[in-house]
Amino acid sequence: MDEIFKQQVYEVTRLIPKGRVSTYGAIAKAVGYPNHSRHVGKAMGGCPKDVPAHRVISGSGTLSVPEFRPKLEAEGIVIENFRIKNFKKLFWDPLEEL
């Protein structure tokens, strides 16, 4: 995987505000690769500690990594059956927010 792509993914992810979530697909679009959401997921697998990977979820509003639940709940996000409650309200779209 291209190092520049990873760094771009990390930079966008660092901008997601506390208490909000984004998706792998939205981040892929923001860095110019709209069909590479899986690559975003792979990049997140080995991301630096300062990247809030827990704020990146699937496009359906479901947690992809159940271990991130405590971090999200600590930010005030309510999760029911591994789904983000009020997902549309909490969704942070980098193309609209930046």
Is the model's pLDDT at 52 over the cut of 80? yes
Percent of the chain with pLDDT over 90: 94
Quote the pTM value.
0.94
DSSP the chain: --HHHHHHHHHHHHTSPTT-BEEHHHHHHHTT-TT-HHHHHHHHHT--TTS-GGGEE-TTSB-S-GGGHHHHHHTT--EETTEETTHHHHB--HHHH-
Q: CB–CB of 33/43 below 8 Å?
A: no
Is the model's pLDDT at 98 over the cut of 80? no
What pLDDT does residue 5 have? 96
According to DSSP, the β-strands at 79-80 and 83-84 are antiparallel
Is the model's pLDDT at 1 over the cut of 70? no
Domain boundaries, the chain: 3-89
Question: Average per-residue pLDDT in the chain?
Answer: 95
Give 3-89's CATH code, choosing from 2.30.42.10, 1.10.10.10, 3.40.50.720, 2.40.10.220: 1.10.10.10
Q: Find the mean pLDDT for residues 81-87.
A: 95
Torsion angles phi and psi, residue 22, rounded to 5: -130, 180
Is the model's pLDDT at 3 over the cut of 70? yes
Tokens standing for 9? Answer: 């993914």
Is the model's pLDDT at 94 over the cut of 90? yes
| CA–CA gap between residue 82 and residue 69 (Å, rounded) | 8
Percent of the chain with pLDDT over 70: 99
What pLDDT does residue 97 have? 87
| CA–CA gap between residue 2 and residue 78 (Å, rounded) | 35
